[in-house]
Structure 1
Amino acid sequence: MSNKQQVFAIIGLGTFGATLARDLQRFGNEVIGIDNNERLVSAHADDLAQSLVLDARDDMALKEAGVSSVDVGVVAIGTNIEASVLATINLKTLGVETIWAKATSKNHHRILSKLGVDRVIHPEREVGQHIAQVLNNPLVRDYVSLGNGQHVVNFRVPESLQGKSLSELNHRQDHNLRCIGVLRGTDYVGQDAESCTLEKDDLLLLLGGRQDLREFARGL
């Protein structure tokens, strides 16, 4: 994660937008929180660098608020698709370099993509998929999608693999997976196939395609 402070404009301070804004501010960034609901803005006034009551459909209001100078704009408006689209257009017009936007449907996603946003977010769907992956296999502690079909999965080493070296897993030969490393508590044990001997409850970090990772997990 970059140590450089960035300036973010978060438009829409519902549950998703407010959580995003607070955490970005907590990470040391400068966050401008924007909503047309005075109650929501007031609720987060102490958490953010700025909290502004304004209508993001008004490009002049956004410009006067200094949004044109932010590094990243996030349109976190939920059910009002018109407001989401107009806010996105305004960010593009103001020259905001990087724009992420929340979508609530396929059509909404399609419109935002046509507008050229850098990433369309589906928070509920993405969280649901993430939880399903973890629940599907008790040994999967967590996973991250890297794009292009590649994922990093965090497997808890079961008792059946205790005492085995990484080379004995045959993860590369049989499943085309790369080992990023092994974590033991808070210690990074390493990724050397011969010298690293697994212990129960180690965390094994593997990189590869979803189907390859799934087949590997089934064999644990």
Structure 2
Amino acid sequence: MAKLKPRNFAVIGLGTFGTTVAEELARFGNYVVGIDRDEKAVNRLADTLSQAVIADGKDEDALKELGIGDFDVVIIAMGQDLEGSIVSAITVKMTGVKEVWAKAVSKMHHRILSKIGVDRVIHPEKEMGQHIAQMLHNPLVRDYVSLGNGFHVVNIVVPERLAGKSLDQLDLHAKFELRCVGVMKGSEYKGSDYASCDLEEGDRLLILGERSNLRRFTDSI
């Protein structure tokens, strides 16, 4: 697999969310600039990021001086400051940044950010809450990934009652309109050629489908 080419990111707002995003992007080997008015927040990341700058994310001149228009992606992470977030998004878009992501804290905030051209609006607390609730609702669901348009890939632990059955016997497509994209046995991945082999308790099924069909399947086991 080809290695991903490092990209240039600017994160405006270094609270908990912005700091986490910036640190993870840097850990992946990207060039990351963190921007915040709080000197303590900036100093905390001075040795972690490519560059940490004390600046106002709403100040067009300051952002232009940082060359904000040359970044691949700008993430606006100051969700609690609604006015600051909106003004910053407008300012960043005006500099010609190709891709802008922004954190929102309400439906109205989301709507405004979308209207001014933000490419992706994030609700981290809401999205994480939904993620955790799904896993709490059914302990067999270890994790899941949303693919958009209502489709998800869910990581489901094989319970005792399914041990000894094969994927063919589960008949996921006919009964639930689902597709198993693989099975994890410990750290080993088994592809579609594993369909006729017996499952063991503790194996993990990677199942693709729409939310309602996935819920029908998980409720049935």
Normalising by structure 1, report the TM-score: 0.97
2:190 is the counterpart of 1:189: yes
Deviation, 1:61, is 0.5
**1: CA distance, partners of 2:117 / 2:165:** 49
2:51 is the counterpart of 1:50: yes
Deviation, 1:189, is 1.8
Deviation, 1:170, is 1.5
**1: CA distance, partners of 2:38 / 2:167:** 55
* TM-align CA RMSD: 1.2
Q: Counterpart of 1:96 in 2: which secondary structure?
A: coil
Q: Which residue of 2 aligns with 1:120?
A: 121
Q: What letter is aligned with 2:9?
A: F
**2: CA distance, partners of 1:27 / 1:193:** 33
> CA, structure 1 residues 2+97, in 2 after alignment: closer, same or farther (shift >3 Å)?
farther
> CA, structure 1 residues 13+142, in 2 after alignment: closer, same or farther (shift >3 Å)?
same
Q: Percent identity?
A: 55
Deviation, 1:196, is 3.0
CA contact (8 A) 2:34 2:49 kept: yes
Q: Which residue of 1 aligns with 2:32?
A: 31
Give unpaired runs (5+ residues) of structure 1.
none
> CA, structure 1 residues 28+131, in 2 after alignment: closer, same or farther (shift >3 Å)?
same
Deviation, 1:66, is 1.7
CA contact (8 A) 2:10 2:75 kept: yes
**2: CA distance, partners of 1:53 / 1:194:** 56
CA contact (8 A) 1:100 1:119 kept: yes
**1: CA distance, partners of 2:195 / 2:112:** 51
Q: Which residue of 2 aligns with 1:106?
A: 107
Q: Which residue of 2 aligns with 1:17?
A: 18
**1: CA distance, partners of 2:40 / 2:185:** 46
Q: Which residue of 2 aligns with 1:205?
A: 206
Q: Which residue of 1 aligns with 2:41?
A: 40
**1: CA distance, partners of 2:39 / 2:33:** 14
CA contact (8 A) 2:33 2:49 kept: yes
CA contact (8 A) 1:189 1:196 kept: no
User: Where does 1:105-184 land on structure 2 (aligned, <5 Å)?
Assistant: 105-184=106-185
May I ask how many residue pairs the two structures share in their alignment?
220
Deviation, 1:2, is 6.0
Deviation, 1:183, is 0.4
Post-superposition, which runs of at least 4 consecutive aligned residues in structure 1 deviate over 4 A?
none
**1: CA distance, partners of 2:8 / 2:182:** 34
Q: Which residue of 2 aligns with 1:97?
A: 98
Per-residue CA deviations over 1:10-63 (Å, capped at 9, x if unaligned) read 000000000000000001111000001111000111110000000011111001
**1: CA distance, partners of 2:91 / 2:7:** 20
Deviation, 1:194, is 3.9
2:189 is the counterpart of 1:217: no
Deviation, 1:192, is 3.1
CA contact (8 A) 1:167 1:193 kept: no
